Amino acid sequence: MITGEYEKLQEIAKYNVCSEHKANLEVAWVDKHWVLRCGADGGHYPASVTRNPSLVQMFKEGEELPGPIADNVRKRLTKEAKMVNENKEGTSLALLPKVDLGSGVQLTEKVITQLVNYAKKYDLDPELGHVVFMYGKPYVTLDGYLYHARRSGAAYSLESRPMSGDEHDAYNLGSTDYGWLATVTLIITQEVYTGLGIVTYKEIKEPSKNDPQLPAHPVVANNPQLLCQKRAEWQALRRAFPLEGE
């Protein structure tokens, strides 16, 4: 049973489904606690959840979508990327970020070409965000590992959950820090790989060096719970489906 504060559980319910029934989640008040409850079975309180990807997420992960839907998703991504990359020099690849996502430094055409070659080495698509530049180094994203896992053809399950109170203490996390654990299970061999995701209060509240009124890490500050979950899933997938020579 996953318990917690109402607002935090609402955020989990928004982006996830019950791992067992693949049904939407709802927040309920049970035994003087806010808990996550399965929408398909009101008496079931899942111990873990599975992310419910959007069409864009499914497209990035390599899911086969009907032609018209796939075309619309790509058009949307192209439009969004064009807005982000407006007036920035570099590659003609419309969906590719033109800046280092960690430092914000403008990427040169040479660096972008290197990133594209790095992605091709692992049969990944840089335009779909499978590989990005982060603090001067190429970084395979969660989308990249999900795509790589799908291409492997291996049957697997991916589940995750917030840390329990005891686990929170075991990792020496503060009361305002976030912690998630993720599990990848290979169906045929029953091998299990785990991942840990942490977002600290310091990381959430760190001010931007350019503008102290803004957060240094806006993605973290706006969605700490979701990002924490993704970090745990990224680590579990990286262990279950390693990229040779990465």
Residue 43 and residue 30 in contact, taking contact as beta carbons nearer than 8 Å: no
**CA–CA dist 133, 165 (Å, integer):** 35
Place of tokens 């924490």: 228
State the pLDDT at residue 236. 97
- Give average pLDDT by consecutive 10-residue segment, the chain, 246 residues: 88 91 92 91 91 79 76 72 52 66 80 88 88 86 92 93 92 92 96 96 87 82 89 96 80
User: pTM for the whole thing?
Assistant: 0.82
What sections of the chain are H helices per DSSP?
A: 6-15, 55-60, 67-84, 109-121, 142-152, 165-170, 201-205, 218-222, 224-240
Element (H, E) at 138: strand 137-140
The ranges assigned to domains in the chain are 1-52, 55-149, 155-246
